[in-house]
Amino acid sequence: MNAANLHKLARQDLWNLEDYAQKREGFRARVMAHKKSRSLQLGPHVRLLFEDRLTMQYQVQEMLRAERIFEPEGIQDELNVYNALIPDGSNWKATMLIEYADVLERHKALARLIGIETRTWIQVAGHEPVHAIADEDLERETAEKTSSVHFLRFELSPEMIAAFKKGAVLNAGVDHPNYHARVAPLAEALRRALLADLN
């Protein structure tokens, strides 16, 4: 087993449906607090939620609960989907949310923002920005509009990882013709969370 697989979820990491029903309230509160330190707002309408093993455990448990899945094959199918969103030690993985409260405004914006997912970047100070690799599971964009949800991977070089671990600050942004945002530097709580993803 390679090191990356040590971070993946297995069936023994999950509660059965009955146990989860009892633990859900407390577990959900813990995960929501955890997610706050892993969220990055890029301008008024784009948010990145950086995923990790705990956020994916919650997603799997919620899917099993919602779909009443208890057979081993069904559980493994969910694990296969969500394990892909756990960082591998050399990258960060994030859910990108394009958020507009008004439905009509959101529809118009998604038509203007085609390609925004690959124009989103993170930069370790002193290195080139790393643009996201997006939606490796399936195509989420059409010729008419983009999706309001994308799954992103930011792959880092060994040099970037070394610099970040030595204290280099992180910047992030979106550079799209119809949407520009920049955060520099990222909040310390998020920086600590992302540092843990590389260990």
Q: Indicate the pLDDT class of residue 143, thresholds 50, 70 and 90.
A: confident
189 and 148 fall within a common domain: yes
Starting at the edge strand found earlier in the chain, the sheet holding 133-134 runs 39-42, 46-50, 91-98, 149-155, 133-134
105 and 136 fall within a common domain: yes
Choose the weakest-confidence range: 19-23, 120-124, 133-137.
Answer: 133-137
CATH number at residue 184: 2.60.40
pLDDT of residue 1 exceeding 60, the answer is: no
Question: What is the number of structural domains in the chain?
Answer: 2
> What mean pLDDT value characterizes the chain?
92
Q: What is the DSSP pairing of strand 91-98 with strand 46-50?
A: antiparallel
pLDDT for res 20: 93
pLDDT for res 4: 47
Choose among 83, 81, 96: nearest CA to 49: 96
142 and 195 fall within a common domain: yes
- pTM score above 0.85: yes
Structure tokens at 170: 């992180």
28 and 47 fall within a common domain: no
Starting at the edge strand found earlier in the chain, the sheet holding 130-131 runs 130-131, 120-124, 170-176, 179-183
Q: Indicate the pLDDT class of residue 199, thresholds 50, 70 and 90.
A: confident
Average pLDDT of the residues in 28-50:
96
Choose the weakest-confidence range: 25-29, 41-45, 63-67, 150-154.
Answer: 63-67
92: how many CB neighbours lie within 10 A of its CB?
A: 24
Q: Indicate the pLDDT class of residue 167, thresholds 50, 70 and 90.
A: very high
pLDDT for res 136: 78
Give the residue numbers spanning the domain of 116: 38-51+89-199
Structure tokens at 173: 């942004």
Interior/surface letters 54-81, b for 16+ CB within 10 angstroms, e for the rest: bbbbbbbbbbbeeeebeeeeebeebbee
Average pLDDT of the residues in 29-58:
96
107 and 189 fall within a common domain: yes
102 and 123 fall within a common domain: yes
Q: What is the 3-state secondary structure (H, E, C) of 80-99?
A: HHHHCCCCCCCEEEEEEEEC
61 and 96 fall within a common domain: no
pLDDT for res 5: 45
Q: Indicate the pLDDT class of residue 144, thresholds 50, 70 and 90.
A: confident
143 and 99 fall within a common domain: yes
User: Looking up tokens 């990258």, which residue turns up?
Assistant: 91
Q: What is the DSSP pairing of strand 120-124 with strand 91-98?
A: unpaired
26 and 102 fall within a common domain: no
Average pLDDT of the residues in 83-88:
91
The span from the CA of 159 to the CA of 167, in Å, is 13
